[in-house]
Chains A and B, each alone.
Chain A
Amino acid sequence: MTGHKHGAHEPGVTAVSAVDDAIEAVGTLLERLTEARDATANAVDQADAAHDAAAAYGNQEGIAGCAQVKDELEAVGSQIAAVHDSVEKARDMLQELRA
């Protein structure tokens, strides 16, 4: 891990290089969060399609189950979006510190 590679207590380590490492690590996290956000949106769509299919078959259990899953996934999507925004702000702050 980048943080361990440049330990803060080792001689020759500067605050700038530590911030550079943090920017890189947070950037990677942001990329993963973007993928997770897209995957969540896709999962919501698929749950919606499964709900419609259950409704077409008149499967009450499927209708209720898929509706619940869809609600949960929408909640997950909101949380991931919030985390994404938070991490994006963190990256911006790190970049300001670096500048």
Chain B
Amino acid sequence: MPALDDAIAALERLGGRLDACRSAGDPAVESVSDALAAAAAFGLPDDVAALEQLHDDLAEAAQALAATGEQTRRALDRLLALRGDAAGGHASSHASRGRRQRQRRRAPGAKSRPAPAPQGDSAAFRNNQRGWRAWGTPGDHVATFGPKIAGFGVGAASVVGLTRGIIAGLGTLAGVFALDLAATVYEKRKAARRRAQEGD
């Protein structure tokens, strides 16, 4: 209920104002005490009487302020309980209230706002980190290109090995042909020599 939220916010503001009053009340009472002591030291009986009365009035006012602070806190706890917050947990109620307000402001399904760009020295460091992330870290490059380079190396070695195998095979084949040719030539020469001897 927005009206209840507004009332709670108003009471929180009032609590802050009362705290400020208490903070201002102590110096006021102390300064009147000092003025009273000074008037007594200078022998000013009329002033002393007036300042004593003033001191008592201010002390009474300070007590009344403390009482109003307590009363305001109880009223705030009552409103927080009505809203469903844990009574007495001011810090948590502030946090949950802020969370609810953010949820209310945010349209359904809307993405949360991106974090603002950091500023300063640490910002430079974090922006640098972001730059690394955008471009890729050295580790990323090793992970990406390492297997590719290894694959290329294996592929190149395979090509070299295959080429060497082919060359070796061709060499063997050539050797076989050469031997066969030599044998054929030998056989033909041998046959020719036999025919020549038979002819003689």
Contacts and interface: CB of A to CB of B under 8 A. Distances in A.
A78 to B, nearest CB: 9
22 contacts: A1-B31, A4-B34, A6-B34, A8-B37, A15-B35, A18-B34, A18-B35, A19-B35, A19-B38, A22-B31, A22-B35, A32-B24, A43-B11, A47-B11, A49-B7, A53-B4, A65-B82, A72-B72, A73-B75, A76-B72, A86-B57, A90-B54
A79 B67 contact: yes
Given A43-B14, A50-B6, A97 B28 contact: no
Contacts of A42: 10, 13-14
B61 interface: yes
Contacts of B71: 72, 75-76, 79
A83 B33 CA distance: 19
A10 to B, nearest CB: 10
A76 B68 contact: yes
Contacts of A76: 14, 68, 71-72, 75
Among B3, B58, B71, residue most surrounded by chain A Cβ atoms (within 10 Å): B3
A87 B17 contact: no
A35 B20 contact: yes
How would you classify the secondary structure of chain B's contact residues: helix, strand, loop or mixed? helix
B31 A97 contact: no
Interface stretch (B40-48, B104-112, B162-170, B171-179): B40-48
B1 A13 contact: no
Contact of A3 (B11, B30, B51, B78): B30
A15 B44 contact: yes
Among B20, B35, B60, residue most surrounded by chain A Cβ atoms (within 10 Å): B35
Interface in A41-99: 42-43, 45-47, 49-50, 52-54, 57, 61-62, 65-66, 68-69, 72-73, 75-76, 79-80, 82-83, 86-87, 89-90, 93-94, 97
B74 interface: yes
A90 B113 CA distance: 53
Interface residues of A, number: 59
A29 B1 contact: no
Interface of B: 1-4, 6-7, 9-11, 13-14, 16-18, 20-21, 23-28, 30-35, 37-39, 41-42, 44, 47, 50-51, 54, 57-58, 60-61, 64-65, 67-68, 71-72, 74-75, 78-79, 81-82
A82 B38 contact: no
A32 to B, nearest CB: 4
A14 B37 CA distance: 10
Among A29, A49, A73, A93, residue most surrounded by chain B Cβ atoms (within 10 Å): A29
A33 B57 contact: no
B65 A68 contact: no
Contacts of B7: 43, 46-47, 49-50, 66, 69
